[in-house]
Structure 1
Amino acid sequence: MKKVVIIGAVGGGATVAGQLRFYDSDMHIVVFDRDSTMSYAACGTPYVIGNVIQDEQSIIMTTPEKFKKKRDVTVKLHHEVLMINRDAKTVLVKNMITGEQFEEPYDTLILAPGGSAIIPKIEGLDSSKVFTLRNFEDMQRIDHYIKSEKPKSCIVSGGGFIGLEMAENLKNLGLEVSLVHKSPTIMSILDTDMSLLIEKELAIHDVKLLTGTMIEKTDGTNIKLSNDIELQADFIIMSVGLKPNTTLAEKAGLAIGETGGIKANEFMQTNDPSIYAIGDASENFDLVTGDPKRVPLASPAHRQAFIVARHITGDKIAKTGLLGTSVLKVFSLTAAMTGLNERTIKEKNISYATVVHNGNSNAGYYPEHSNITLKVHYDPKTRKLLGAQCVGGKGVDKRIDVIVTAIYGGLTIDDLQALELCYAPPYSSPKDPINMIGYKAIAK
């Protein structure tokens, strides 16, 4: 009987365990994780803190007991894997509650260790109340602090996905929120003009935004920024970035790629064919350019889990590359994106042209409609789609989803005008914004 050991029991780890059992009813599967909770919806944690999701248990998809009963998979929480012995095909595991250490043999090993929040070295940081949000326990700590201590103000350091979601949810709880971001504009994966639309939304909702600066020094509730501005805040949410958890892989001599993730081939195998790597800590490749790419998001992790499960059970399905498709809610706005942004295109010296369409989400005469801005980059010679961004009210996500499908299907910018998309006044217009991008590109 083949034995598979999985390190990590959240998105990628839990999914690959379930997939393996689906395709092989006899395989022996064991999963180890340091945390106290498995298979929870990490993307939902800001909304539990914001009381949008009122039952924190609702974001837990399963428990070790339920997983064992339903899938016949053994999950051991509070267990840390300390070392991989590739020659003996064993892992050294520590029970974090008892301190006991033991060796667990494997035929195949899957690494899904995720990533850790980066906490920069800041003078006096230990004197302040500082939180990160990377797991279920982090969420519980923040939630308990807010409910028990009833703070009035917060500084969110970092204007990426977690930072913006936390800023919104904390503001909705009635806190005074300041958002500090090192780069000149927030959401650095967006083009500057698109980021500015989100910054305007933050201002409307009274989130104090300070860009081009970072926390330099703290003294309790006194926070000094690198531009000499001083702020007061009861606590800090640190969301400046994610470091892939690759220490275990590095100690085992597994190759680390140029993005800092564990290097994996088209089947998610490392340089040791009996060891796979998936999720936040794995390095993949960009669908558009073919260059190394690491995307710490849920959708790629789930896709990688499927690829690994099929490969282990005898069906070779190669990955097709990553676009980094993502979506974000910021108060009444939605921002979505896929593929290359303008900065990356310029850095890689790719020839490009851009079409922007400002219009309504659906018929302007219909009572419920909103403005959306859709921006698409493409190669002017091949007409190949390079990337797209959309910011606005309703319907933003579906426009980006269409672009994603077009890229995967090999359509050109000109093909967009011919797509027969859904139309009725509550949903779109006879010429959808996607069609308009195509028409404008042809006119160009």
Structure 2
Amino acid sequence: MKTVIVGGVAGGMSAATRLRRLDESAEIVVFERGPYVSYANCGLPYHVGGVIADRSSLLLQTPESLAARFRLDVRTGHEVISVDPVARTVSVLDLAAGDTVIEHYDELVLAVGAAAREAAGHPGIPTHTLRTVEDVDAIGALVEAAADHPSALVVGGGFIGLEAVENLVRRGIHVTLIQRPAQILTPLDAEMVAPLEAQLRSHGVDVRTAVTIDSAVSDAVLLTDGTELRPDFIVDASGVVPSIDLARSAGLRVGPTGGIAVDPSNRTSDEHIYAVGDGVEKVDAVSGEGALVTMAGLANRHGRSVADVIGGRDERNTPALGTAIVKVFDTVAARVGWSERQLAAAGRPHRVIHTHPASHATYYPGAEPLSMKLLVDPESDAILGAQIVGGAGVDKRIDVIAVAMAGGLTASGLARLELAYAPQFGSAKDPVNQLGYVADNLRTGTTRTIQWHELAAAREAGATLVDVRTALEHAAGAIPGSLNIPVDELRDRLAELPDGPLIVHCQVGQRGHTAARILDQHGRDVVNLDGGYRTWAAGEGRSRQSSMAEQDSAAGASV
């Protein structure tokens, strides 16, 4: 049995090494177009920033080490240029020699991943992506060669773009970040990215959303907001597209998302050809439909599972949750499942919960604030997604919620999880438990809430907004037009409340819930502002910035 694997990183190498552990007699050939295999591409931005000083630590294996340990025939500098599924052969170009050879296979695994979106050239300004070791070497050389007061333009505010920005700043480079959508990190909702943008700006990053490159001449680029920049170099992190040329040459089916279509065993429309990695269409865990999910963890997991299938085992993929995390200086952002924006666009009913707990017990030194958002199916109480932004503890909580989703636990069921507790690690009521308590209150009708972006319309319809924080908190920052009656005085001041619907709010939602319970039991029509003043302030501030950015971009375009 001869298995040919196209692609020697992540999914491809996971498939090769797993297959060898299952079958010592198999012939396994790996073709990799680039000069490196099995390297830690997720660590590349951190080598640019000097956090990972030793470049060689990113190069996990070599063809020689793989041959010694696994008896793999790994050929770097070899590009598979076509596939003949009838003859079961691949045509391989030796990039150094210029020769093309035909290689036979019994089973073929395509692990070619995704490629950077094709970007327009920028005359006089070096432009690179940040996906390969060669990219890192080129950017590193540009950083070293930059004159006094160097500057860079990063195009794209997704995960890779944000990591690039942070690490360039660490090297003393002034960075302008532009993003085509109206916010950075679009997998998160608007109010959740506000702390990230604040963190970037606090480190001197010029963040411009709803902005793209309009044109480039000589050593300058003109942005759509009318700004002219002269960066020393450009990092293009505007996204990736599935690499499907080989699949098309083989006549394989491509899914509606543009990725290679596979069954749960990673088999393509040809029974002897499999595909794994970023170029493959996954099954979304929330919708059950095809989706592009470009995650290293999935690529490695599916590489392993395809080896099991080739080795004769009954192995099937589970749907993809899209769990992801990024750190931007001192702020961490993570997500799993769908966002509120996705759910609204799909017309899917959903319930939203915001909380703002601390990373651990507040009486123990070093507690850091968290902002948490949970999306829930109002009928089934199923968890549809979650987002968390903060410092320490973000990773722990998003992983708990991801496991809960994978296990089919309901939102209310989060309240009953028994999680490790000591004051330096968490709280007796862990932040995940707190989400469950709120979810259960909403499920049972114990409380009703309204979202920050629904507040204006509710007030226009006649509702009165009551701030139940202290007078000192109200004076430090308040929602315009709100009536301040502290929750501890509420029972004695009921007569001061006007007739009609009431909306109560506190700083983060907890005192608002108490106030809502008091008023409800006094016969008032009342809802609590979910997430309180903190969520409203983040959402409104982000909305104003988006509006201003869009106006600036439109004005620049008209000029």
> Structure 2-normalised TM-score?
0.78
1-side partners of 2:146 and 2:198: how far apart?
31
Q: CA offsets, 1:406-432, max 9 Å, x none? A: 011110000000111111111101101
Residue pairs, 1:23-422, within 5 angstroms: 23-121=22-120, 125-150=122-147, 152-422=150-420
1:251 Cα deviation from its structure 2 partner? 1.4
2:278 is paired with a residue whose SS is helix
Work out whether residues 33 and 79 of structure 1, in 8 Å CA contact, stay in contact via their aligned partners in 2.
yes
CA–CA distance in structure 2, aligned partners of residues 168 and 371 of structure 1: 21
Q: Deviations over 1:140-181 (max 9, x none)?
A: 111122123457000101000111001000011111111000
**Residue deviations 1:167-197, cap 9 Å, x none?**
0000111111110001000001111111122
Counterpart-to-counterpart distance in 1, 2:216 and 2:279: 31
Supply the distance in 1 between the matched residues of 2:287 and 2:383 (Cα, whole angstroms).
Answer: 11
The superposition leaves residues 20-78 of structure 1 with CA deviations (integer Å, 9 ceiling, x where unpaired) of 00111110000001100000010000000000000011011100000000000110000
Kindly provide the amino acid, as one letter, of the partner of residue 117 in structure 2.
Answer: I
State the partner residue of 2:422.
424
User: Which portions of structure 1, spanning 4 or more consecutive aligned residues, are displaced by more than 4 angstroms?
Assistant: none
Contact 1:262-1:277 at 8 Å conserved across structures: yes
CA distance in 1: counterparts of 2:201 and 2:141, whole angstroms: 28
Residue equivalent to 1:13: 12
CA RMSD of aligned residues (A): 1.0
Whichever residue aligns with residue 113 of structure 1, its letter is: V
SS where residue 82 of structure 2 aligns? strand
Q: Unaligned stretches of 5+ in structure 2?
A: 443-559
Distance in 1, Cα, partners of 2:145 & 2:69: 38
CA distance in 2, matches of 1:146, 1:37: 23
Letter matched to residue 324 of structure 1: G
Say if 2:123 and 2:219, in contact at 8 Å, map to a contact too: no
**More displaced, 128-137 or 220-229?**
220-229
Compare 100-109 and 217-226 and name the one that shifted more. 217-226
How far, CA to CA, are the matches of 1:53 and 1:121 in structure 2?
A: 31
Output the CA distance in 2 between the equivalents of 1:220 and 1:324. Answer: 41
Q: Distance in 2 between matches of 1:258 and 1:346?
A: 21
Q: Secondary structure at the match of 2:421?
A: coil
* CA distance in structure 1 between the partners assigned to 2:147 and 2:189 by the alignment: 37
Tell me how far apart the structure 2 counterparts of residues 88 and 214 of structure 1 sit (CA, whole Å): 47
> Which segment drifts farther, 224-233 or 326-335?
224-233
Choose 348-357 or 84-93, whichever is displaced more: 348-357
Is the Cα–Cα contact under 8 Å of residues 268 and 275 in structure 2 kept in the other structure? yes
Q: Distance in 1 between matches of 2:255 and 2:35?
A: 30
For the 8 Å contact 1:362–1:425, the answer to whether it is kept is yes
Out of 146-155 and 348-357, give the one that drifted further: 146-155
Query: Residue 327 of structure 1: SS of its match in structure 2?
Result: strand
- The aligned residue for residue 448 of structure 2 is none
Question: Any stretches of 5+ residues in structure 1 without a counterpart?
Answer: none
Contact 1:131 1:237 in 2 (8 A): yes
Q: SS in structure 2 opposite 1:280?
A: coil
Q: Is the 8 A contact 1:119 1:240 kept in 2?
A: no
**Superposition deviation, residue 119 in structure 1:** 3.2
SS of 2:356's equivalent in the other structure is strand
Matched residue of 1:262: which SS? coil
**What TM-score, normalized to structure 1?**
0.98
